[in-house]
Structure 1
Amino acid sequence: MKHLLLAAVAMSAVLGGSALSGASAADLPRRSPAYIAPAYAPMFTWTGFYGGINGGYGFGDANGIGRALAGSPSGGLIGGTVGYNYQYQRFVLGLEADFDYASIGNSQTSAGPLTAKSNLNFETTVRARAGYAVDRALFFVTGGYAGGNLHSTTYDTPNNFYAANTNYLNGYAVGAGVEYAFMPNLSGKVEYLYTDLGQAYNFAYTPDVSRIGLSTSNIKAGINYHF
């Protein structure tokens, strides 16, 4: 009998201990799953300074009054760009300047015979830009100052006269384009610029005195780095 009583007490102790352990385990705080932050891409902004390279093709008219006009010059140009943008919501305002080495020229022979040549050696612009941003694309219009170096020559066979003149011309530029940010710090652009560089006198006090100027249509592409 004594042995049966001891066995019962031992069994009760084991069962009680198991129940107690289960209750203690149930009371322990459970470990929460790890928090995973939602992934998101930061919003792109056009605000800031930038610089890059550009190039393209220009064509136009050497206009003015006189015999020594070289018709419709055309050719390529390549150079650099610097600027600054400020974006408010979807609207972007900025200032941009570029300097391009150019070879926009033509040669024309007229009655006489007289051979006239004109070549735009370089062109520079300083322009305001106003645009509207759609995601990473910027649609803009632009306008401002334009200047360029025009080299002209004439060879008048009957008068046995040859002369060369170089004039820096001042005028304006207007245009429009689109720019797209294909990486966080890189964008590509395509733009059209019409420039009217005004007029200047060439070959003064000669039979071939002319008032000559140049207007061009430039189609340009470029890549900019945004700081």
Structure 2
Amino acid sequence: MRIAGLCGLFLVGLASLGPAHAADMPFLRGSQGLMPSEPVYFRWQGVYVGGQASYSSGKSDFSQGTGDLVSYMLRNTIEEAEMGVSSWTTLPSNNGMTGTGWGGFIGYNAQWDDAVLGLEFNYTRVGLKATAADSMGRYNLLSDSVYHLVDLTSTAGVDLTDIATLRLRGGWAASWFMPYAFIGVAAGRADVTRSATVAGYTSTVSPTDSGFTGWTPAYAETRSDNRSGAWGFGYSAGAGIDVALMANVFLRAEYEYVYFGDFQGMKVTVNTVRGGLGFKF
């Protein structure tokens, strides 16, 4: 009887403690289904504006910078027709264009999950200058049976002051970071100076003959063209990254290559690195 009574008391105590202990016991692994959460993307969509500072280096190709001036001065002459003086590569390239700049940008982003596509206008005020000066001379026996010597002296300069680009951007929203690449059209404004002097000489005797006594001056002419605010057009391409500091503020770092095909016969290329601060609405 004593044993039966103890067993009864044990069963009653176990029944009274069971619910409390059961509530505190952990679930076995795998006993509860996992509910995947929705992916979270930082919203880059919307209008944005910002300011920027930059450093640029450039190259000016002056090789055909004065060709039209020479062509005009030697129009309807035997020297131009048979010696092609206006096509001579008188001036070299100049790689010494460097300078800092400042500017701003405004654009709009459309976003689908982590894909971002946008259109942006970007402006930079710069001060990139380059100059070149050189001369060359050639002589030939032409169809009139006379030796003709032409001396050509040329100078040119470019002071690039403004660069504006309209870009199509494609980016990838990696949470608070958005790397992007872009292509676009470019317009630039520059002060351009050009000058060419052509001097012509003749001789009926070859300069290599013993009877040569010197060249007879035939003509000398100088023509200049100085323009303030000349426009050049081309294209741009580059890449960068936007980093969100908070919901409506982001930092930017980027690289851009710009090519201008014709500043009064001269070609200009610019490489620029920028840092900026933007605001998204």
* Alignment TM-score > 0.5, same fold: yes
Residue 94 of structure 1: aligned partner: 118
Give the Cα–Cα distance (whole angstroms) in 2 for the partners of residues 154 and 170 of structure 1. 19
Give CA-to-partner distance per residue, 1:93-131, whole Å, 9 cap, x none.
111101221111123343477543211110100001001
Q: 1:213 to 1:150 in 2, by over 3 A?
A: farther
Residue 206 of structure 2: aligned partner: none
1:195 matched to 2:218? The reply is no
Q: Share of identical aligned residues, percent?
A: 27
Residue 148 of structure 1: aligned partner: 188
- SS of the residue 2:173 aligns to: strand
Give the Cα–Cα distance (whole angstroms) in 2 for the partners of residues 150 and 68 of structure 1. 19
Q: 1:114 to 1:65 in 2, by over 3 A?
A: closer
Question: Which of 252, 258, 270 is the aligned partner of 1:216?
Answer: 270
Residue 65 of structure 1: aligned partner: 64
Q: 1:186 to 1:85 in 2, by over 3 A?
A: same
Residue 53 of structure 2: aligned partner: 55
1:44 matched to 2:42? The reply is yes
Instruction: Say if 1:200 and 1:212, in contact at 8 Å, map to a contact too.
Output: yes
1:133 matched to 2:173? The reply is yes
Give CA-to-partner distance per residue, 1:152-173, whole Å, 9 cap, x none.
2246689666541242111111
* Superposition RMSD in Å: 2.4
Unaligned runs of 5+ in 1: 1-41, 202-210
Give CA-to-partner distance per residue, 1:160-212, whole Å, 9 cap, x none.
665412421111111111110012211111111111111143xxxxxxxxx21
Question: Which of 155, 171, 180 is the aligned partner of 2:243?
Answer: 180
Give the partner amino acid of 2:274: K
Q: 1:200 to 1:108 in 2, by over 3 A?
A: closer
Question: Which of 89, 113, 129 is the aligned partner of 1:105?
Answer: 129
Instruction: Say if 1:70 and 1:116, in contact at 8 Å, map to a contact too.
Output: no
Instruction: Say if 1:70 and 1:106, in contact at 8 Å, map to a contact too.
Output: no
Unaligned runs of 5+ in 2: 1-39, 66-89, 137-152, 199-220
1:123 matched to 2:163? The reply is yes
Q: TM-score, normalised by structure 2?
A: 0.57
Instruction: Say if 1:50 and 1:226, in contact at 8 Å, map to a contact too.
Output: yes
- SS of the residue 2:162 aligns to: strand
Give the partner amino acid of 2:193: T
Q: TM-score, normalised by structure 1?
A: 0.70
Instruction: Say if 1:69 and 1:117, in contact at 8 Å, map to a contact too.
Output: no
Aligned residues: 177
Question: Which of 99, 103, 124 is the aligned partner of 1:79?
Answer: 103
- Cα offset, 1:43, TM superposition: 5.4
- Cα offset, 1:222, TM superposition: 0.9
